[in-house]
């Protein structure tokens, strides 16, 4: 497990403990049948993409989903079905947990919360919950456009991105105050960034390969996977991340797809090929075959 993923899990657990302590964690599970049906109707692409990963959380995932989509109910305990419903909301709806609070008018609100330990992902996650188009979507398609409608059907009134550092978590009372302030705002989506570095993190920048890829990915505006890699490699070299270069490119979903479909050696070959080509472009005195001539060797 990567360090950034481990930190993300720790941040999520910290927020759940915090919510339980102040009795604002929603403990009523969502109906699995309702969640599957609404996702299939309004976020079908995301449901299809999530299914291969769901089996890791629940071995009965595919059978239960297929049963529900055939119009039947799953005859399992509410607890078991609630766990899968929660995983579905995480994968398809950017929802790690749900809070239940009352505003100043005593109206109850369910608030979906997506927790991250990476402050660089705050805006990207906000874009998702606001139904904005994903950078990888083809023209005319938006995988996130119905997220707001799904929230409404499930009775979720607001959606919050919460950024915390599990190594230096925020003050409980201050965080609680900010969450209640969000509940009383008219906006349906928002973020609370409480990430504060430790003394060690102030000295050593909080930049894993995954974080660097995400940072550069947001800065590059191109739909070509190869051109995106080229531009990101240039940025990483410019910033002095020579030792992390291969690890950064390995975080590219396109490279991960090559590894999944053709094996790890093909993925490593692709990474070496593109990096060498970019280095050659930046050092024109070296006689190295241009990138375009290598494309026929890459299954793009």
Query: Which tens digits make up the pLDDT trace of 173-215?
Result: 999 999 999 999 999 999 999 999 887 777 666 678 888 888 8
Report the pLDDT value the prediction gives residue 13, as an integer from 0 to 100. Answer: 97
pLDDT at 239: 84
Q: Is the pLDDT of residue 25 over 90?
A: yes
Supply the pTM of this predicted model. 0.70
**What Å distances lie between residue 22 and 12, 26, 114, 234, 276, CA to CA?**
16, 11, 18, 47, 54
Arithmetic mean of pLDDT over the chain: 88
190 SS3 class: strand
Q: What is the mean pLDDT of residues 66-71?
A: 94
Which residue would you say has higher pLDDT here, 290 or 193? 193
- pLDDT, mean of residues 224-253: 90
Q: Please tell me the predicted confidence (pLDDT) of residue 289.
A: 44
Q: Is residue 247 scored above 50 in pLDDT?
A: yes
Give the sheet arrangement for strand 108-116, strand by strand.
97-102, 108-116, 158-163, 189-193
pLDDT score recorded for residue 291: 43
Q: How confident is the model at residue 285 (pLDDT cuts 50, 70, 90)?
A: very low
What is the pLDDT confidence band of residue 288, given thresholds at 50, 70 and 90?
very low
* Mean per-residue pLDDT, 96-117: 97
Contacts of 138 (CB under 8 A, 6+ apart): none
Q: What is the mean pLDDT of residues 215-242?
A: 87
Look at residues 142, 138, 125, 111 and name the one whose alpha carbon lies nearest to residue 46.
Answer: 142
pLDDT confidence of 218, banded at 50, 70, 90?
Answer: confident
CA distances from 82 to 54, 74, 89, 153 (A): 14, 12, 11, 17
pLDDT (0 to 100) of residue 184: 96
């Amino acid at each position: 497990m990567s360090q950034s993923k481990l930190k993300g899990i720790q941040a999520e657990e910290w927020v759940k403990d915090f919510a339980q302590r102040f009795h604002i964690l929603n403990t009523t599970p969502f109906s699995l049948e309702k969640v599957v049906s609404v996702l299939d109707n309004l976020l079908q692409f995301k449901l299809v993409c999530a299914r291969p990963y769901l089996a890791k959380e629940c071995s009965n995932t595919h059978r239960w989903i297929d049963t529900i989509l055939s119009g039947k109910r799953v005859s399992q305990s509410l607890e078991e079905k609630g766990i899968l419903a929660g995983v579905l909301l995480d994968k398809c709806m950017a929802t790690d947990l749900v809070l239940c609070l009352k505003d100043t008018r005593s109206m109850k609100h369910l608030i979906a919360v997506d927790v991250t330990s990476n402050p660089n992902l705050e805006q990207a996650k906000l874009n998702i919950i606001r139904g904005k188009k994903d950078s990888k979507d083809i023209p005319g398609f938006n995988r996130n456009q119905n997220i707001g409608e799904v929230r409404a059907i499930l009775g979720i009134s607001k959606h919050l991105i919460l950024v915390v550092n599990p190594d230096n978590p925020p003050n409980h009372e201050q965080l609680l105050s900010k969450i209640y302030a969000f509940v009383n705002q008219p906006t349906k989506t928002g973020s609370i960034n409480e990430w504060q570095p430790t003394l060690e993190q102030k000295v050593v920048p909080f930049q894993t390969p995954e974080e660097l890829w995400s940072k550069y990915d947001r800065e590059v505006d191109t739909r070509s996977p190869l051109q995106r890699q080229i531009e990101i490699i240039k940025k990483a070299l410019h910033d002095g991340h020579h030792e992390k270069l291969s690890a950064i490119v390995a975080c590219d979903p396109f490279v991960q797809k090559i590894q999944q479909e053709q094996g790890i050696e093909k993925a490593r070959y692709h990474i070496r090929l593109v990096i060498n080509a970019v280095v050659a472009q930046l050092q024109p005195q070296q006689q190295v075959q241009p990138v375009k001539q290598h494309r026929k060797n890459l299954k793009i």
